[in-house]
Structure 1
């Protein structure tokens, strides 16, 4: 699983971040505290765009358990700045991962530009400091 993240996920995310930078949208790939990896694209006044991938333990059904295998296989699972539920991307090629990041980025752009979603996507991390007294 770590090999998949190193050989497929990281290069794909770095390529997306690089392309966003060349198009004037600052972006960088970071190793997250949760053990994941994510390109981060800062935004002013709204939540940053994050498409992260982390190792997620999955409980195996008892009928599939084998004495020599772990009870919790790991899968690479996505996570997003909106805290939306992610999904397993194991087996995707670099090109498929890039396409998936771009689909999520387009969704992000539509949401943050929608007046109806402003409350949902307000950025508490970007709140101005209250005036000091």
Structure 2
């Protein structure tokens, strides 16, 4: 094989290996509506690595305008303590609730009464955002 063909072959193999490594850790988020007022959330990575301990964040769909009522009502509903101080924001939206995935990379979370998004927050460049299923009248 001549040198030119060999160098092209080596370059192609190198590019394939590098591209596989770049795609090997894509975050994945699965959100299922249990239709009982809760959602099932599972997170993971395309290479099969665990997402245990990764943050799951519920945020309002609307940009924060200074009103924390949606968060406060949700925290009252689930019996959680309201945070002191400034409201926590994620990309200009009010954080309603924050939890972490369990040892099986799963969580069951009560649905808020407002339109919301579910965020799999695995770090910069590794966030996945899904629209959360609405709370229906029969689930109230």
Would you say same fold, with TM above 0.5? no
Query: Higher strand proportion, which one?
Result: 2
TM-score when scaled to structure 1?
Answer: 0.28
TM-score normalized by structure 2? 0.27
The structure carrying a bigger helix percent of its residues is: 1
Q: Which has the higher contact order (CA 8 A, sep 6+)?
A: 2
